[in-house]
Amino acid sequence: MVAAMPLTFQAVRAQMIVSTILPAPRVNTDSPANGSKENNALEDRLARADRMVATRMGEQNIPGYSLIVMKDGRVVFKKSYGFADLAGQRPATSNTIFGLASLTKTFTALTLLTLVDRGLIDLDSPVGKYMDGLSPPYQALTIRQLDSMTGGRKYTIHFAKETLRWMPSGL
């Protein structure tokens, strides 16, 4: 079982700030980008984000943080900072499960309702309609049940690890 220090509100705020300073520059992926102006701009933004995360962690006493930046479906930056377990001095990694509590609910609801508005999902359809390979207890749950936490399933680290199977490979 992975014991993780919860991220603080300041860490999430830092993550939001990173998102605002990293608007994706146009990088020509069809030709070698080494030394190109666009690649240099991306590298500069990533270096600024790296420094900012390290600085904010010190200023705001944030124990651990992981940052992954993806562009065009590929990882362009991946780094973990601080500790997953402060008492045990276990370093944070890209596999650390941070307890975010309810901070992601707003973003999840906005994303789900955007998909509903576009006709891409139905809140009352089972999750199994959209995702293959779920364990039987989760196949029949509806998206509405998952979003409103009324599906009757207890949240466990096992559930979190099963959910991580759906992340893009290479993270």
- Domain residue ranges of the chain, discontinuous segments joined by +: 1-100, 104-164
Mean model confidence pLDDT for the chain: 74
Section 77-90 average pLDDT? 91
The residue annotated as part of the active site, out of 36, 66, 102, 125, is 102
91 vs 63: CA distance, rounded Å = 10
Q: Model's pTM, two decimal places?
A: 0.48
pLDDT of residue 48 exceeding 60: yes
> Where is pLDDT greater, at 17 or 137?
137
Average pLDDT (105-118) is: 88
Residue 169 is among the residues annotated as catalytic for this protein? no
- Residue 52 reports pLDDT greater than 70: yes
Torsion of CA 118, 106, 61, 82, to 10 degrees: -40
Taking CA atoms, 48 is separated from 70, 75, 104, in Å, by: 16, 17, 25
